[in-house]
Amino acid sequence: MLSLSQVSKSFALKDGPYTAVDNVSLEVKTGAIHGIIGASGAGKSTLLRLINLLERPDRGTVTVDGKLLTELPDKELRQQRQRIGMIFQQFNL
């Protein structure tokens, strides 16, 4: 259902690049429920945002329900995102 392969994401900080997600690979089977745990700043929210490509990975691929999201053009990506639910950590809106 969900597959990440060697996904990495860095942010450009003033002291240089900061790697928030470093070479993560995982699989979630249909119907399975998983939790992501880690200290504050470990990269949990960034990892979730990489799954629906609100953050674009620097490296690696994201596949959801057979669609290689990291290769989709923007219009198709928007369509696929309509099928992926997410509750934001700071849901100000």
Ligand X SMILES: Nc1ncnc2c1ncn2[C@@H]1O[C@H](COP(=O)(O)OP(=O)(O)OP(=O)(O)O)[C@@H](O)[C@H]1O
Kindly list the residues in this chain that would bind ligand X in the complex (CB under 6 A): 11, 20, 38, 40-46, 89
Closer CB to ligand X, 47 or 69, in the complex: 47
CB half-sphere exposure, 10, CA atoms < 13 A: 11
Closer CB to ligand X, 40 or 82, in the complex: 40
Identify the residue among 82, 89, 90, 92 touching Mg ion (CB under 5 A): 89
Closer CB to Mg ion, 45 or 61, in the complex: 45
Distance CA 12, CA 49 (A): 17
- Pick from Mg ion, ligand X, none: which does 82 bind, CB < 5 to 8 A by kind? none
- Give the count of beta carbons closer than 10 Å to the beta carbon of residue 45: 16
Q: With contact defined as beta carbons under 8 Å apart, do 3 and 57 qualify? A: no
Q: With contact defined as beta carbons under 8 Å apart, do 8 and 23 qualify? A: yes
What residues make contact with Mg ion under the rule CB under 5 A? Answer: 44-45, 89
